[in-house]
Structure 1
Amino acid sequence: MTTPLTETEATINPVKAGTEHQTKGDRFSSFDVNDFSVPRGKDEDWRFTPLRRLRGLHDGTAAEGQRAQVSVDLPDSGATYSELEPTDERVGRAGAPVDRAAAQAWTNTNVADYVHIEKDAVLDKPVTVTVTGAGEDKVSYGTLVIELDTHAEAVVIVRYEGSGAHSDNIEFVVGDGAKLTTVVMEDWARDGVHLSNSHIQVGRDATVRHYYAAFGGEIARSVPHVRYTAPGGDAELLGLYFADAGQYFEQRLLVDHSIKNCRSNVLYKGALQGEPSKGHESRDARTAWIGDVLIRPEATGTDTYEKNNNLLLTEGARADSVPNLEIQTGEIVGAGHAATVGRFDDEQMFYMQSRGIPAAAAKMLIVRGFFTDVIKRIPLESIRETLEEKVERELENTVL
């Protein structure tokens, strides 16, 4: 005899808004390093990162830390620089650390560097912040806050250089109607290790153009987080990186659309070249790009797009590209994402070689053109020239 099945209704317990880890935008954050567990290789946020090469910046085993050398070059008027206590109300407003490395940097920071752009000020030259590592085999920590008051306009360059291991938190607080163009350059010596959390807070009708470039260092891991506070915000994040054998670059970004009628655009491009003939420890070039865009139910009228392109120049190169788009409302202007990882385009190579250009020269032309799409968007000619020179220098040492 067959026993009849008894059907029962499913019990559904709705998850309240803001529940921890409900979305990428609701991930846990804290200023206290003890609130975070030590990262493991199987953790989603760390699964690409070579933890054994971080020199203890993530697990508390780092050498005793110190303050990195920070120099600030300001225009004659409209901007000021000061050193603040971490407990100052102007520090920590844009967001708290979202991982243990950033919380460890916060816990070990005694002084925050604060750059303030006055209301309605339009700066006649860039603000340049130079962070120099503590030295070979040494560790440093830092906190940097860049604030633009209402309707201010500024260009801010943040340059990292020198040796050592460095971990920091950066805040960009952009007031209503303000316009910020910022360039972050990883220009470390070859032994540099840098872990960075950054929070970009975009006010009503504010505009942010954030450019990121990674060429130097052994490891550079950047975790930017964009958050809007009122309608009309416009954020654009563009980046380029060129990884050689023994280098690892990671960008793990989040654009959190929780406000209606805001815009974002993300474009990162990277090239990688390994040296298979070298020893196992230093032969591979590795990059990881994780792009998260969240459109919450209340973020109607959102317009967003993200793209990451990677060009593998040689053997011994690996790029992981993971675009994620989470949409919780259909009332948007547009949303999309794309990612590519590949070698030289056969049609482009054929076209140039058929016109007498040697294969090696053709490949270099393709690499230059590959990066041009990002470099040409940077409004500062001096920065464009600097990045073009860095690409040329990489190509001079290429193993193509």
Structure 2
Amino acid sequence: MSSVTQAPVTVPGAKGHTDGAGAFVPVQTRDERPRSYDPSDFEAPTGREVNWKHTPVDRLTRLFADEAGDAGAVSVAVSGPVAAAGLAVGAAPRGEVFLPDDLPAAIAWSRSAEALYITVPVEAELDEPVVIESVGGSAGLVAHAHIVIEASRHSRATVVLRHVGAAQFAQNVEVIVREGAHLEVVTVQQWDDEAVHAASHQARVERDATLRHIVVSFGGGVVRVNPSVELAGTGSRAELYGLSYSDAGQHLESQVYLHHKGAETTGDVLYKGALQGAAARSVWIGDVLIGPDAVGTDSYEANRNLVLTDGARAESIPNLEIETGDIRGAGHASATGRFDDEQLFYLQARGIQEDEARRMVVLGFLAEIVQKLGVPELEAELFAAIEEELAREVAR
């Protein structure tokens, strides 16, 4: 497939940066970023670019090299009620929605000779989730992947992506939600501490269809999962939720983009994170664009972070751009705070021990996202993982 670039930077050949003035107008909004299937159209990030300035790029350098992946780096298994197939570059619907907007995504596109293809048949309603499990073999090995998930007209399904082990993993996920379909995509990152994972999720939602997309990041040294969703059809809906628990030395990041393109579209974005331990870090950037034809839009995005210990840091940046005045509503919010000592005192005053009180507060804060999963076994597993993280904090 030939190179395609959209919305180039203002001056041909110039590279976007985040500070300075006079040379050119830097790329700022998500829809302005250069896009291409060709890795050579991107320079290796330096950490000064607007989309990389909050990321520890020195820990992702192996994912910036346009080289073949290592054999056995990541093994993939698919289970559930539908069979998986393969899609070569140029085979529909691969590339119908996905267009890389950064270097790791472009490399993953070109280095994935065959994409994993999951399709839900027309009007099918799957009673159990499709599970795609990726298991990393070693932190020193590099892997690339491209996954295409298509929910056909008026179908209903849940797809769960699980990630364990360790690897240097660049992953693309292309999601197509056809007219009237309802699709839930849950991506769970429970990597070992040495793992590095850069994932680009791009989705299009057609008329009267719904996408529920949930990012859960608990494990990994650096995990960067960036969902981009276009509400293309009239009456389409997106529910974008996220949960992260960053421990000492971990960097967990999501840059969310929701583009309201069709009329009467609805968007609900809510990400929550907890952080504990020295150098624990989370980054959330939320971009919402309500286009000129998106009349009747109702959209809201929010990010909440709970800092449990000294040395942890959360960065939260909500952005909202509106290009039409005919909307039902739009808003954004962000809050980051330390553990509430008043809540702790209230519970202790009623005879609850300090450790149990802290546990109750944190579980109550994160439970809202876990309970949105709709997969009871996974919900129980994640509550257990939160309990494990809390036990580590108490043991310090």
- TM-score normalised according to structure 1 size: 0.89
168, 176, 180: which one pairs with 1:177?
180
Deviations 1:229-273 (A, max 9, x none): 210111101110101001100000100112111001011110001
Q: CA RMSD in A?
A: 1.8
Q: Give 2:334's aligned residue.
A: 339
Amino acid of the residue matched to residue 347 of structure 1?
A: E
CA contact (8 A) 1:201 1:227 kept: yes
30, 41, 44: which one pairs with 1:35?
41
1:349 aligns with 2:344: yes
CA contact (8 A) 1:194 1:220 kept: yes
CA contact (8 A) 1:65 1:141 kept: no
Cα distance in 2 for residues equivalent to 1:246 and 1:291: 23
Q: Give 1:368's aligned residue.
A: 363
Q: Give 1:107's aligned residue.
A: 110
135, 140, 144: which one pairs with 2:138?
135
1:268 aligns with 2:239: no
User: Alignment length, in residue pairs?
Assistant: 372
Kindly report which structure 2 residues correspond to 1:242-261, keeping only aligned pairs within 5 A, or say none.
242-261=245-264
Q: Which has the larger radius of gyration?
A: 1
CA contact (8 A) 1:247 1:285 kept: yes
CA contact (8 A) 1:232 1:263 kept: yes
304, 307, 310: which one pairs with 1:309?
304
Cα distance in 2 for residues equivalent to 1:312 and 1:136: 28
Q: Unmatched 5+ residue regions in structure 2?
A: 1-5, 10-26
- TM-score normalised according to structure 2 size: 0.90
CA contact (8 A) 2:28 2:50 kept: no
CA contact (8 A) 1:240 1:268 kept: yes
Cα distance in 2 for residues equivalent to 1:244 and 1:261: 40
Question: Which secondary structure state, in structure 1, belongs to the residue aligned with residue 62 of structure 2?
Answer: coil
Q: Give 1:168's aligned residue.
A: 171
Deviations 1:40-75 (A, max 9, x none): 1111100111111114212x1778544731111121
CA contact (8 A) 2:66 2:107 kept: no
Deviations 1:276-306 (A, max 9, x none): xxxxxxx310110000001112111110111
TM-superposed CA distance for 1:387, in Å, is 1.1
Question: Which secondary structure state, in structure 2, belongs to the residue aligned with residue 398 of structure 1?
Answer: helix
Of stretches 22-31 and 159-168 in structure 1, the one that deviates more from structure 2 is 22-31
TM-superposed CA distance for 1:195, in Å, is 0.2
Runs of 4+ aligned residues of structure 1 deviating over 6 Å after TM superposition are none
Cα distance in 2 for residues equivalent to 1:134 and 1:84: 24
Kindly report which structure 2 residues correspond to 1:1-400, keeping only aligned pairs within 5 A, or say none.
23-58=29-64, 60=65, 64-66=69-71, 68-75=74-81, 79-274=82-277, 283-399=278-394
Deviations 1:173-217 (A, max 9, x none): 110000101211001122111000011110110011111100111
Question: Which secondary structure state, in structure 2, belongs to the residue aligned with residue 239 of structure 1?
Answer: strand
Deviations 1:2-47 (A, max 9, x none): xxxxxxxxxxxxxxx9676585224221111001111111111001
Amino acid of the residue matched to residue 104 of structure 1?
A: I
Q: Unmatched 5+ residue regions in structure 1?
A: 1-16, 275-282
